[in-house]
Amino acid sequence: MDPVYDRMVFPDATYDFHSGVRNFRIGLLQHFPDAGADIDDYLAHVRRASGTVAGHFGQRLLPGMLQGAAGAAVRRLSGDYFGRTTHEVLSSCTRNPKLAAVLAGQWGDYGAPPKQSSFAMHALVAQHYLDGANFPVGGASRIAAEIIPTIEASGGAVLVGAEVDQILVQRGRAVGVRMLNGDDILCPQVISAAGVHTTWSRLLPPEAAAQNDMLEKVQALPRSVGHLGLYVGLKGTRQQLGLEQANLWVYRDYDHDASIARFLAKPSRDFPLMYLSFPSAKDPAWDSHYPGRSTIDVIAPAPWSWFSHWQDQPWKKRGADYEDFKAQLSERLLDEIYRRAPGARGQVDHFELSTPLSTAHFSNYAAGELYGLEHSPYRFAQRWLTPKTPIKGLHLTGQDILFCGVGSALMSGVLTAATLLGPKLLRVVPDLLAGRSAGLASALKRLVPKTPTTPTRHLPVPEAQPLWFEARCVEIETLTDDCKAFRFRCDRADMRRYRPGQFVTIEAEIGGQRLCRSYTLSSSPTRPDTFEVTVKRVAAGPFSNWICDQLQVGDD
């Protein structure tokens, strides 16, 4: 990506984070010319804290007695960066509160302000970006697309829309999972990446979850912050709209903790933090796939309590008051887009807002948390947060046993695989503790059987869904002043295969032009020939205005 990867926007100044340690330092010195020693001290702490990660998590793979001794040694030798807050370490580096606030400006990447967050978590994010930022060519979905062939070649299967209802436990051992449709899939090992809270509070039978006081331990762990996500589609290229690749972190105050506390006490205040990202500007392949179009994402903190009284209402059917509240929040976020990217005004073609209820619905996080567990010193002090659980045959993986991020998700899989190796683990511990990833990968490759595991059952290849079909509008329901539900009928019996959350692209002739827009299915087709979409009117959106104003029952 471009040399400036993050831009910190405060009321009186804007600070650019440049790739490369030297450039990063020079950029800050332009604003804080007398703070060279403070900046150097901070960078030294970032390097040291980042270097303690392998030891902190690696010692947790050791047997119980060794783990206690190794953990104490690691904390003593490493400066206990996991146990100190970001605020504590920054206060030891500088007495300049503005410099400290700027250096802490990436706290939205892990969801906890300086007085709540572990400095080790902050250091991992800061160190990751010091050499510059990257973006997958073709967008984030390419990560899944590239790894799926490897999973399938190893005997695995990747299933979507296949929800687990319960982990099956017999005589104290996990023996498989029960799917939402009632199917039981039996297996010798169950590995859950659903998150600690979801695994223990929702997937395990209550009697199994309560063993060893595990449920009590899990419930004592604070969850990370909830969020709003505004996803905006625009007419125009990056150049026409004046969009840059740098992320914008917009703050109202240099005191991050006080600012968010005031906001939570009085939500009508301005958002204490808004994160603006420009995915289409970052993707080198974007213009070849979507010429003349652009996208912007805006993220802001939002507590679960704002939305909890709608939690029992189904997705897309939460009522006019919910939609009105979302519309108000969307306008506040759109105003920030226009303030920071003036070229976007009048070019918005579509936008959609997610809330913590959206996160709960699609990610199964009960309180809509963005990053799983809160990244606090308390969380990192829990030595039982490891891949191994007290229930035989059940292991954990994912961000909750490490920390948030794509790299963490990758390494959590390595840790879980290493745990499952049992005594063979001792062959890879030296490489793990020393942070030698190449040696660790080589050792694991030698230990894992060369022949792929045979799956317990072969799943049939799903039939291809129809690409195009004609449909007739049979019912229109007004949800709010600018939001309607449309029910369509077509002559294809296989419409039942579609599920809520999948996309359907509607093509229509408007003003002599053939236009297409994609919408999510609001509910499962109630009859073999009927499906429903919900359309929200966008002021500058020709398609949404046409469908809300012109489409009538009986139209094809």
DSSP letter string, 414-451: HHHHHHHTGGGGGGTHHHHHTT-HHHHHHHHHHHS-SS
Q: How confident is the model at residue 388 (pLDDT cuts 50, 70, 90)?
A: very high
Query: What integer pLDDT is reported at residue 55 of this predicted model?
Result: 82
**Which residues 6+ apart lie within 8 Å of 52 measured at CB?**
74, 78, 79, 81, 82, 120
Quick: pLDDT tens for 325-369.
999 999 999 999 999 999 999 999 999 999 999 999 988 898 999
The whole-number average pLDDT for the span 97-123 is: 97
| Residue 383 placed within a domain | yes
Cα–Cα distance between 95 and 473 in angstroms, integer?
65
Asked whether the predicted pLDDT for residue 549 surpasses 90, the reply is no
Query: What integer pLDDT is reported at residue 395 of this predicted model?
Result: 97
Residue among 233, 172, 234, 156 nearest 205 (CA)? 172
| Residue 312 placed within a domain | yes
The domain boundary, picked from 104, 130, 156, lies at 130
| Residue 258 placed within a domain | no
Cα–Cα distance between 235 and 78 in angstroms, integer?
51
Same domain for 167 and 216, yes or no, is yes
The domain boundary, picked from 83, 108, 130, lies at 130
Cα–Cα distance between 516 and 510 in angstroms, integer?
10
Q: Residue 441 is encoded by which pair of tokens?
A: 């990968």
Q: How confident is the model at residue 513 (pLDDT cuts 50, 70, 90)?
A: confident
Beta strands in 311-450 (DSSP E): 348-354, 394-396
Query: What integer pLDDT is reported at residue 528 of this predicted model?
Result: 55
Q: pTM of this prediction?
A: 0.77
Using CB atoms within 10 Å of the CB of residue 378, give its burial: 0 to 12 exposed, 13 to 18 middle, 19+ buried. middle
Helix 119-130 and helix 86-93: axis angle, to 10°? 70
Query: What integer pLDDT is reported at residue 458 of this predicted model?
Result: 44
Residue among 211, 224, 154, 220 nearest 394 (CA)? 211
Rounded alpha-carbon distances, angstroms, from residue 102 to 31, 97, 253:
11, 9, 11
Cα–Cα distance between 218 and 316 in angstroms, integer?
31
Task: Please give the DSSP secondary-structure letter assigned to residue 200.
Answer: I
Same domain for 207 and 304, yes or no, is no
Given the structure tokens 């392949």, which residue do they identify?
285
Asked whether the predicted pLDDT for residue 2 surpasses 90, the reply is yes
Query: What integer pLDDT is reported at residue 502 of this predicted model?
Result: 61
Asked whether the predicted pLDDT for residue 75 surpasses 80, the reply is no
The domain boundary, picked from 447, 464, 490, lies at 447
Whether the CB-CB separation of 80 and 71 falls below 8 Å is answered with: no
Beta bridge partners of 508: 515
Cα–Cα distance between 315 and 394 in angstroms, integer?
32
Same domain for 237 and 285, yes or no, is yes
Same domain for 424 and 502, yes or no, is no
Query: What integer pLDDT is reported at residue 451 of this predicted model?
Result: 42
Q: DSSP assignment of 10-27, as one string?
A: ETTEEEEEESSHHHHHHH
Give the sign of the dihedral formed by CA 68, CA 72, CA 74, CA 75: positive
- Between the two ends of the chain, the Cα-to-Cα distance in Å is 45
Domain count, the chain: 4
Helix 119-130 and helix 36-50: axis angle, to 10°? 100
The share of the chain scoring above pLDDT 90, in percent, equals 58
The share of the chain scoring above pLDDT 70, in percent, equals 84
| Residue 7 placed within a domain | no
| Residue 320 placed within a domain | yes
Nearest 10 degrees: Cα torsion 248, 252, 254, 255: -120
| Residue 267 placed within a domain | no
Query: What integer pLDDT is reported at residue 536 of this predicted model?
Result: 78
| Residue 208 placed within a domain | yes
Whether the CB-CB separation of 118 and 100 falls below 8 Å is answered with: no
CATH code of the domain in which 398 resides: 3.50.50
Q: Residue 149 is encoded by which pair of tokens?
A: 């062939």
Same domain for 479 and 498, yes or no, is yes
Q: How many CA atoms lie within 13 A of 113 on its CB side?
A: 15
Using CB atoms within 10 Å of the CB of residue 310, give its burial: 0 to 12 exposed, 13 to 18 middle, 19+ buried. middle
Beta bridge partners of 534: 485
Rounded alpha-carbon distances, angstroms, from residue 374 to 79, 370, 394:
21, 9, 23
Same domain for 209 and 294, yes or no, is no
Cα–Cα distance between 184 and 171 in angstroms, integer?
17
The whole-number average pLDDT for the span 21-45 is: 98
Residue among 199, 190, 192, 193 nearest 221 (CA)? 199
CATH code of the domain in which 500 resides: 2.40.30.10
Rounded alpha-carbon distances, angstroms, from residue 551 to 189, 197, 305, 476:
53, 45, 37, 9
3-state secondary structure of 186: strand
Cα–Cα distance between 324 and 482 in angstroms, integer?
9
Asked whether the predicted pLDDT for residue 489 surpasses 60, the reply is yes
Asked whether the predicted pLDDT for residue 461 surpasses 50, the reply is no
Same domain for 349 and 421, yes or no, is no
Query: What integer pLDDT is reported at residue 257 of this predicted model?
Result: 97
Same domain for 233 and 336, yes or no, is yes
Same domain for 235 and 299, yes or no, is yes
Residue among 92, 58, 90 nearest 74 (CA)? 58
Whether the CB-CB separation of 351 and 230 falls below 8 Å is answered with: yes
Asked whether the predicted pLDDT for residue 228 surpasses 50, the reply is yes
Out of 181-195, 331-345, 488-502, least confident range? 488-502
Same domain for 40 and 162, yes or no, is no
Beta strands in 11-151 (DSSP E): 13-18
Query: What integer pLDDT is reported at residue 445 of this predicted model?
Result: 56
Domain boundaries, position 51 = 16-130
Same domain for 235 and 342, yes or no, is yes
| Residue 554 placed within a domain | no
Polymer length of the chain: 556
Distance of CA 162 to the CA centre of its chain: 20
Mean pLDDT (the chain) is 86
Asked whether the predicted pLDDT for residue 303 surpasses 80, the reply is yes
Residue among 336, 335, 313, 334 nearest 323 (CA)? 313
Same domain for 418 and 495, yes or no, is no
Comparing 20 with 316, the larger pLDDT belongs to 20
Q: Residue 379 is encoded by which pair of tokens?
A: 């969380």
Q: Residue 151 is encoded by which pair of tokens?
A: 């999973």
Query: What integer pLDDT is reported at residue 438 of this predicted model?
Result: 53
